[in-house]
Chain A
Amino acid sequence: MGFLSRLASLFGFKKNEANILVVGLDNSGKSTILNFLKQGDKNVPVDTVPTIGLNVEKMKAANIEITAFDMSGQGRYRPLWEQYYKECQGIIFVVDSSDKLRVVVARDELERMMKHPDLERRNVPVLFFANKMDKRDAVSSVKVSTLMGLNEVIHNKNWHIVASNAINGDGIDEGITWLADVMKSNMATKK
């Protein structure tokens, strides 16, 4: 660590670094999205196995060093998300827009999350990916937004929703750029 950056971190400015929490129900495409972000255009779709617990990924996106905590979405592991709320500067919530039946479940989880003491009063930006938009039975991002009740559930936080396709990367960059910008301005105003 050089002298200047050490000085910077002493005063609380970190390099452009951020912890992002990636949540959402199982099979919604979280790991696939992160995989795309890591590999960029060289993306070779790997056959993802369901995540057990969590995976930690580091990557550079939109000019920012991101440490992403890719959480497992299976019911058994959802209660463990909260362990990572305190230290995150941004949240990505992935919804499978072709799985209308379970959107209500996702909404429940989101509500629970927003009420959690470690998040409730913090202005953490939340990015929603309405994923799998390529699927025939996928609904639009606006529809997802209504089904999830984003306007009602989220009060004091910046949020944004983008339709995405994790397989070919459509929408991913747009979403991440939005999230990075908000986080950067957050860091600047805080210090």
Chain B
Amino acid sequence: MHMLRRDKKEEEEGGGNPFNNLDKTTVLQEARLFNETPINPRKCGMILTKLLYMINQGDQTIGSTEATEAFFAMTKLFQSKDPTLRRLMYMGIKDMSKIANDVIIVTSSLMKDMTGRDDQFRGPAIRALCSITDTTMLQSIERYMKQAIVDKCHAVASAALVSSLHLSKTSMDITKRWVNEAQEAVSSDNIMVQYHALGLLHHLRKHDKLAVTKLVSRFSKHSLKSPYAYCLLIRIASKLIEDEDTGTESQMYDFIESCLRHKSEIVIYEAAHAMINMKGVTAKELAPAVSVLQLFCSSPKPTLRFAAVRTLNRVAMKHPAAVTACNLDLENLITDSNRSIATLAITTLLKTGSESSVDRLMKQISSFMSEISDEFKIVVVQAIQSLCLKYPRKHGVMMNFLSSMLREEGGFEYKKAIVDSIITIIEDNSEAKEAGLAHLCEFIEDCEHTVLATRILHLLGREGPRTPTPSKYIRFIYNRVILENAAVRAAAVTAMAKFGAHCDELLDSCVVLLERCELDSDDEVRDRATFYVRVLKERQKALNSAYILNGLQVSVVGLERALHHYTLEPSDKPFDMKTVPLATQPITEQRTTPGKEPGDISTSKPSDKLASSRQDVYAEQLSAIPEFANLGPLFKSSSIPVELTESETEYVVRCIKHTYSRYMVFQFDCTNTLNDQVLEKVTVAMESSDGFDVMKYIPCASLPYDTPGTAYTLVRLPEDDPTNVTGTFSCTLKFIVKDCDPNTGEADDEGYDDEYVLEDVDVVVGDHVQKVMKPNFGASWDEVGPDNELEDTFALSTMKTLEDAVKNIIQYLGLQPCERSDKVPEGKSSHTLYLAGVFRGGHDALVRSKLAMTDSGVTMQLTVRSTDPNVSDVLVSAIG
């Protein structure tokens, strides 16, 4: 019985593929048959196919000894004249060239085949030969490669051209010598050869911009025969436009535009595609490209319709207006029998159409949702998400649609897209919050993806307690504790603790539930539960805020380094959390970028890995300089370097400010743009009348042409008055100049002192505070308490709108906006902004800014709370 079941399963999985379930040892054993004479081409062909299949599947790794044995057995097949077997063998050589040893053994045999009489062996032999050849061996086949590139037989020439391109990766200096042959091949009358030759030619000159420019202008005039070559030329041209940032002004652009009138469809499409993807192109400039795509929409060829609608979809993301001209044609495509085309047509219309057409289109798409692949379902999800952001009033329809999609079958990527969308919508529109949370609760009841379940639980813990009826979420969360794996259980425990910490009426029942988790079989779950129960039982708001609702906000890399340091020098003093640098990137903020098309290659995924932040890197660099080793932990590095020189001057200097608890280090990144000078002993002299003392200059020893170097200035912060934190420095670049020979870089022995005036550097309040995200601002506000509270009212007469005011306040104070309060709801005349951070020295700083529109501008009531009275003072006076 057991056997039977297993057979059935295998059958299902195999789907009739005779190569499924191949066993490596058996196949390698069978490969010994290659050694027998006479060769049996049919049998050997079959075995070789199995071997190739196995290598390409890659799930059974073949060791190099086994591979080498099979490879040498395979070399015996050179005696067979059977065409199928021979070509399989060439493929075998290519595929095994990277795993077997001594593969160069077949060099002469392949050279014989590539120059032989049998054309059908020559191309494959070239490809195989190039895959076994390294730079040292390449010299000995160079002569034959050159001949092959210009061979009469097109397949041979193409094979040689494409192989040369591959060889260029490792042996550019040799393949460069084949330029003349490639040149000759471009004038071939075969469209493939012409295309491949142009590809090689471009590749060989890729790094020489001038040569590439010449190449394009030459071939764009002398008309090429091959549409593929044209397409390539269009791509090269648009890359040039992008690199040089010349936009539509460029001659290249004229060429691309002229291709819209080419007779081949593929060229027309390529040109339209290139124009649409050009940076900063305006809707008006897009018009001709859009009109050719419009024509394609009614083509009888599905590929053309697909290409057109997919590209229009992309245009609609940035320039919906440019696509409205095609609305009629797109309407015709929403019933297209090809569902991919229909999906793209509908999602495009959703972007370009009016609010009133949304319901109709959604109905249309739901009629065939079950027929399209996950990849296209994701397109639909993303369209819905952007619709919700555009028409917030439609969130009801959309949310329902998303939740019904959530209930259907689908893979991880698809489900993740839906969850991402729902979360984005909730965060953007507070009216959608409760419905969204309800859908997500329902989803985690039956969710097989740990990542999604933990993510949703985290969201429930943050948002749930602050809804009108928090109690209804507890059941969903506690169910997870009973039913799920350890990772999900741990997340559920944390979420539950947050309800207990935030809602007094739920505290007792949450503690009871958490106490049950103290017996969990998993360490992490148990530890979390024990910790939370302990904290909750203290019944102190401040503890709840610090340890449950808002948690630690330190840089993980920094914490690791500080702990390591602490263990190196044992001391009786307890470890001080204040010495740990803060997380510079708020960890809770990770939004996905909507609007990726399926099949997009350029996906810039946000890396989830724990990377060192920029500041961690600075901290490391600075602590390596002996003079700065005793400054204590680095508190903050300014995020955007300040330019202290105008663009295109002799010297380029940028300043980055590093703040320590009592000092500041100014880092000056300098570049010398004069090729006939070497600068030495470069420093930046700083002067200030605001109570800051310059302590030390660390010069940059030598600054040769075009090689960046760094000088530092160490400054002590004013000590007498703790509220004196801002000031202005005048800066001068001082150095010794030595003239040098521009070609060799050799400098004179003698130099002379010189200096160069730089822009002023300001120290602002923002340099002393570090952003910290408080997921539950209210709890932190209570935690810090009113002891050091300061309040003042201001008239911000220069601000014209609430958005303006919000943007400027954030920038000025350098604090982190919380509770999404940086977004001003549309049509409101008042708004409250919540800001949080930590002041130099480790003091919490919280700001509540109530803003109201009046006839004369914006008025603001600013309330500041801090654990240190001076900090409140500094922040309030910063605005004045």
Residues of A within 8 A of B (CB): 9, 14-15, 17-19, 51-56, 58, 67, 72, 77, 80, 83-84, 86-87
Contacts and interface: CB of A to CB of B under 8 A. Distances in A.
B108 interface: yes
3 nearest interchain CB pairs? A53-B105, A52-B107, A56-B78
B37 A53 contact: no
Given A52-B137, A67-B79, A83-B72, 9 more contacts: A52-B107, A53-B105, A53-B108, A54-B105, A55-B108, A56-B78, A83-B105, A84-B72, A86-B35
B107 A15 contact: no
Contacts of A86: 35
Given A67-B79, A83-B72, A54 B106 contact: yes
Contacts of B109: 53-56
Given A56-B78, A58-B79, A83-B72, A72 B37 contact: no
B75 A87 contact: no
14 contacts: A9-B38, A19-B37, A52-B137, A52-B140, A53-B105, A53-B108, A54-B75, A54-B105, A54-B106, A55-B108, A67-B37, A80-B105, A84-B72, A87-B76
Contacts of B78: 56
A56 B107 CA distance: 11
Chain B: interface secondary structure? helix
Contacts of A55: 108-109, 112
Contact of A53 (B35, B38, B104): B104
Contacts of A15: 38
A191 B784 CA distance: 100
B102 interface: yes
Interface in B662-686: none
Interface of B: 35-38, 72, 75-76, 78-79, 102, 104-109, 111-112, 137, 140
Contacts of B111: 52
A87 B35 contact: yes
A52 B104 contact: yes
B101 to A, nearest CB: 10
Contacts of A53: 104-109
Nearest to B144: A49
B108 A54 contact: yes
B208 to A, nearest CB: 34
Nearest to A86: B35
B102 A80 contact: yes
Contacts of A77: 105
A76 B140 CA distance: 15
Contacts of A80: 102, 105
A14 B108 contact: no
A51 B112 CA distance: 10
B37 A17 contact: yes
A67 B109 CA distance: 14
Contact of A51 (B79, B102, B108): B108
* A14, A52, A86, most chain B CB atoms within 10 A: A52
Nearest to B107: A52
Given A52-B137, A58-B79, A87 B105 contact: no
B125 to A, nearest CB: 13
A14 B40 CA distance: 13
A15 to B, nearest CB: 7
Contacts of B108: 51-55, 72
A21 to B, nearest CB: 12
B38 A17 contact: yes
Nearest to B141: A52
A14 B37 CA distance: 8
Nearest to B102: A80
A87 B112 CA distance: 23
A169 B137 CA distance: 32
A17 B109 CA distance: 21
Contacts of A72: 108
Contacts of A9: 38
A12 to B, nearest CB: 11
A87 B37 contact: yes
A72 B76 CA distance: 15
Contacts of B102: 80
A65 B38 CA distance: 10
Contacts of A52: 104, 107-108, 111, 137, 140
Contacts of A14: 37-38
B35 A56 contact: no
A86 to B, nearest CB: 7
A54 B102 CA distance: 12
A17 B108 CA distance: 24
A15 B38 CA distance: 9
Contacts of B35: 86-87
* B37, B78, B106, B140, most chain A CB atoms within 10 A: B37
A128 to B, nearest CB: 23
Nearest to A79: B102
A68 to B, nearest CB: 9
A56 B75 contact: yes
Contacts of B72: 83-84
B45 to A, nearest CB: 16
Contacts of A67: 37, 79
Contacts of A51: 108
A14 B38 CA distance: 8
A35 B37 CA distance: 22
A80 B36 CA distance: 19
Nearest to B34: A87
A17 B79 CA distance: 12
Contacts of A84: 72
A102 B863 CA distance: 97
A146 B427 CA distance: 95
B591 to A, nearest CB: 57
Given A72-B108, A77-B105, A80-B105, A56 B79 contact: yes
A83 B35 CA distance: 11
A83 B137 CA distance: 22
Contacts of A54: 75, 105-106, 108-109
Nearest to A52: B107
A87 B33 CA distance: 11
A80 B75 CA distance: 12
